[in-house]
Amino acid sequence: MAAINITNVSKIYAGGVEAVKSVSIDIADGEFIVLVGPSGCGKSTLLRMVAGLEAISKGTVEIGDRVINDIEPAERDIAMVFQNYALYPHMTVYNNLAYGLKNRGTPKAEIDARVAEAARMLEIEQYLSRKPRALSGGQRQRVAMGRAIVRKPAAFLFDEPLSNLDAKLRVSMRGEIKQLQKRLGTTSLYVTHDQLEAMTLADRLVVLNGGQIEQIGRPLDVYHTPASTFVASFIGSPAMNLLRGTREGTQLHFGSQVLDLGRAPAFPGQITVGMRAEDLRVATSGDQSLTMKVDYIEELGAQRLVHGTVDGKKLTASLSPEIDIGETMALTIAPERLHFFDADTGKRFGQPFANTGYDRLSAPAIKLEAAL
Amino acid sequence: MTHAPSLSATNPTPTSAGGFFRRFRSAPSEPDAAKRVQFNSPLLPYLFLAPQMAIIFIFFYWPSVQAIQSSFYLEDPFGFGSTFVGMANYTDVLKSGEYLSIARFTAVFTALVTFFSLAIGLLLAVKADGIIRGNATYKTLLIWVYAIAPPVAGLMGMMMFDQHIGPLVKVAAFFGWNMQVGLNYNDTAFAMIVVSVWKQIPYNFIFFLSGLQGIPVPVREAALMDCRSGLRRFWTVILPLLAPTAFFLLIINTTYALFDTFGVIDVMVKDKAANNPITLVYKVYMDGFRGNDLGGSSAQSVILMIIVFVLTIFQFRFIERRVHYN
């Protein structure tokens, strides 16, 4: 068990491509950190640098009090769970679990005890004498987890461990990983491209884009105060609606349509306005409203996603199934539920109604120094 | 001699080799009806099989039957008829001290050639697999030796070991070894083994390299995190996963050493003094076509066939059991 400090880490490939650009993350002991982002954002590269499978071009990674940049992967006191399980196909499940311990000269009795404990925790006791090919995907994933657990490492690294499983199994394994991590209290770094997985697992999540950190924060903070249009559109499903508009006085203009904010926010004319689908509601008489032309509806059971356009721009609203849907609908939103972003940089305008102007959001107690 | 080419021709790639052996073992238990092709006429599949069957029949079964038959006869050297002699050809051969010493040499030769060509091929493949920059050049350089025909390889080997101009003889002389290939029994054996191994390394290299590249990268990475020692990782993870390739190559290399080295041996010992090492297959040729003892030669080739048969059964029975197929 240990803290992990990633300081100004960069990955520069031969040819000058910079996959990770000066990323810094401080992970507390026992914390569950999820790296999330689209493919090619550098999240796996970052994880693999911590694991020792990729060389660190710049910066330092510390696990506990050791700088591990030049330490062999096997000696970093970490265990990794791979996307496609990466079990040793020629070994039985028992030997898959025991292999790492044997190589470290752990006494036989201790190996037996640890394997038995991990197998009990993961409910794979009856498969210990089988080869991996005789197991289902979910069972293989458990074995892969077991291989990490028996080592009792300072940190777990997960590289999209659930993406090869079917949807239902993914949800249940997600829960199990979370519980297991809480129970063992082992510091974990988890990579995924699935924002839902990131939201549900993370103590804090790190949103990466183009090799840089867009935002670090607790899942709900990131959801409710996204630092940029990128985060806003990446975290949350359906994605946050982002409309280009202009502010004139207290009014927001979307083409011909107008919302009055009642107060004048402290930012310039051209802005991007963000609205969560669930914050939109049907306007009653007397409300000011935006008129949406309805294109199609997705029924989710508990709610219904209504897709349409406002002034030619796409908008999605999450409405109760009891509400009747017409050809056009008048929608409204509380002004404090609106998110404002710089139209050019996509950065969030913090505190839209206080007169603090343009300040970037940062969650407390977090070192956020991606070179922006 | 005839069955060697047909054996190596059936297994062109390592994957098909694995598949080939696997199908052997699991075909009855795996009902893959979806993949089964339906023929309109029941004769059609036999028609498709006919060319291959004809080749096997004409070049393997028919000569084999003839060899077995003529091994019981004493042929007149001028073709004026033959006399039935029962097992006499076999007892003569097996009682001959010369034959037994050739058999001993063949065993040693086969073991050494198989071992060294597999070991060196594997070593080069592992090293080539680790190289990232310039590996295409490196691989091509290693592979093209395979394009050399065995007699040419033998000839080149002969030049390397030539009494007057051979560079390897000069190197040996530097270390005080008066190497006399073609005159000294052990020196000739040494040269024969070196040339045979050299000729076979590229073949093994290609198969081992493709086998290595077939090992999933994440499995190697997992091993990297589980095991510090590279050598130990190789023995415990890489080599077991290469076992199907290695087993296939073991059979192919044994066959190579027994039969396909004929060309190399021929070039090295032909027109040389008598006391030179030869292998059983060369003895078959010498007695049959040089000595015109067709009966004795046939008996030897039947014995050789039985040896290979037993060896192959042994390999499948006792070695393949330890091989893990993915």
Domain ranges of chain B: 97-322
The predicted pLDDT at position B27 comes to 39
Q: Which residues of B touch A99 (CB under 8 A)?
A: 226-227, 236
Block mean pLDDT (10 aa), chain A, length 372: 90 90 93 93 93 93 91 92 92 94 93 94 91 91 93 93 88 90 93 92 94 93 92 91 88 86 75 92 84 92 92 91 88 88 86 41 35 34
Q: What mean pLDDT is reported for chain B? A: 82
* Residue of A13, A47, A50, A53 to mutate, testing the B interface (most B Cβ within 10 Å of its Cβ): A53
If pLDDT is split at 50, 70 and 90, which confidence band does B132 have?
low
A265 vs B301 pLDDT, higher one: B301
* pLDDT confidence of residue B199: 86
Q: Which of A74, A85, A131 sits opposite B227 (nearest CB)?
A: A74
Identify the three-state secondary structure at position A87: coil
Query: What value does the mean pLDDT take over residues B85-90?
Result: 87
Range of lowest pLDDT (A35-49, B29-43, B129-143, B180-194): B29-43
* DSSP 8-state symbol, B227: -
> Is residue B2's pLDDT more than 60?
no
Record: contact B219-A86, CB cut-off 8 A: yes
State both tokens at B210: 């493709």
The pLDDT value recorded for residue B34 is: 53
Q: Are A182 and A104 in contact (CB under 8 A)?
A: no
Which tops the pLDDT comparison, A344 or B78?
Answer: A344
Q: How far apart are CA B200 and CA B177, in angstroms?
A: 26
What DSSP state is assigned to residue B139?
H
Closest among B82, B18, B6 to B292, alpha carbons compared: B82
Contact A103 B229 (CB under 8 A): yes
CA-closest candidate to residue A18, choices A26, A9, A27: A9
pLDDT value at residue A352: 54
- In terms of pLDDT, which residue wins out, B145 or A182? A182
Determine the pLDDT at residue A315: 93
| Cα–Cα distance measured from residue A234 to residue A125, given in angstroms and rounded to the nearest whole number | 40
Q: Rounded to whole angstroms, what are the CA distances from A65 to A4, A29, A154, B135, B320?
A: 9, 12, 11, 40, 49
Decide if pLDDT at B12 tops 50.
no
Q: Which two tokens stand for residue A106?
A: 């752990």
* Residues in Cβ contact with A154 at an 8 Å cutoff, skipping those fewer than 6 apart: A1, A2, A63, A64, A77, A78, A186, A187
Beta carbons of A146 and A97 less than 8 angstroms apart: yes
A contacts of B325 (beta carbons < 8 Å): none
For B40, half-sphere exposure in the C-beta direction (CA atoms, 13 angstrom radius) is 0
Fold entry, domain B97-322: MetI-like fold (1.10.3720)
- Above 60 in pLDDT, residue B23? no
Residue A312, pLDDT score: 86
Q: How far apart are CA A25 and CA B270, in angstroms?
A: 75
SS3 B310: helix
Listed in order, strand segments (DSSP E) in chain B are 73-75, 82-84
For β-strands A204-209 and A32-36, DSSP reports them as parallel
pLDDT reported for residue B5: 36
Displacement of CA A195 from its chain's centroid (Å)? 5
Is residue B33 scored above 90 in pLDDT? Answer: no
Q: What is the structure's pLDDT at A360?
A: 36
Q: What is the pLDDT of residue B185?
A: 86
pLDDT higher than threshold 50 for residue B95: yes
Using 50, 70 and 90 to split pLDDT, how confident is the model at B148?
confident
> A290: buried, middle or exposed (CB in 10 Å: 19+, 13-18, 0-12)?
buried
Q: For residue B229, what is the nearest residue in chain A, using CA coordinates?
A: A103
Beta strand A270-275 with A241-248 is: antiparallel
Split at pLDDT 50, 70, 90, the class of B36 is low
CB count in 10 Å sphere of residue A70: 8
Q: What is the pLDDT of residue A241?
A: 94
Closest-CA residue in chain A for B219? Answer: A86
Q: In the numeric block, which tokens belong to residue A246?
A: 């202009």
Nearest to B226 among A52, A90, A99 (CB): A99
| B289 vs B123 pLDDT, higher one | B123
Alpha carbon distance B92, A67 (integer Å): 77
CB contact (8 A) between residue B219 and residue A100: no
* pLDDT tens column, B111-122: 999 999 999 999
Chain A residues touching residue B219 (CB < 8 angstroms): 86-89
CA–CA gap between residue A53 and residue A98 (Å, rounded): 22
Q: Are B222 and A80 a contacting pair at CB < 8 A?
A: yes
- Supply the pTM of this predicted model: 0.78
Q: What are the angstrom distances between the C-alpha of B41 and each of B38, B47, B48?
A: 9, 10, 12
For tokens 């040269």, the residue is B191
